[in-house]
Structure 1
Amino acid sequence: MGDEPLAIEIDSAAQPAPGRVWCRLCGRPLTGAESRRTGLGPSCDAKLHPPGPDIRTRRHEVEQDTLPGV
């Protein structure tokens, strides 16, 4: 038993269809051109690359004294 090679059975139905591109994260088939180019579906791409914070969320109003002479 120790020197016998491992036998792996390959199910032909489980093989991906030729010409299809699959998501590298979840394995679902990709349909959009941009998704196929990056190799990630839209939801998986959003998980790995969340949008940056909006610059307007960092702004806040500040109370200031009026300038002299105005």
Structure 2
Amino acid sequence: MGDEPLAIAIDSTTPPGPRRVYCRLCGRPLTGADSRRTGLGPTCDAKLHPAPPDIRTRRHEVEQDTLPGMDPSAG
């Protein structure tokens, strides 16, 4: 056992450092920490999980009675 070489490949073809993570939907390489954690790029994540509708777009003016003491013609 003393003269046997180790079974570790020193000249391996994989570069040292973090391994590449690819988008599960489109296959592009992911760079952001959030994207790498979820496995989806920002564009693909937006396709699968669209933002909820903005409630401010549903607001509209409603006709109301004038408040007492706020008569605009009394000016």
Bin the TM-score by the shorter chain.
0.5 to 0.7
- Structure 1 unaligned regions, length at least 5: 1-16
Percentage identity across paired residues of the two chains:
85
- Structure 2 unaligned regions, length at least 5: 1-14, 69-75
Cα deviation digits, residues 31-53 of structure 1 (max 9, x gap): 00000001000110011111111
How large is the Cα RMSD of the aligned pairs?
A: 1.8
Q: Is 1:48 paired with 2:48?
A: yes
TM-score by length of 1: 0.66
Runs of 4+ in 1 over 2 A off after TM superposition: none
More strand by share: 2
TM-score by length of 2: 0.62
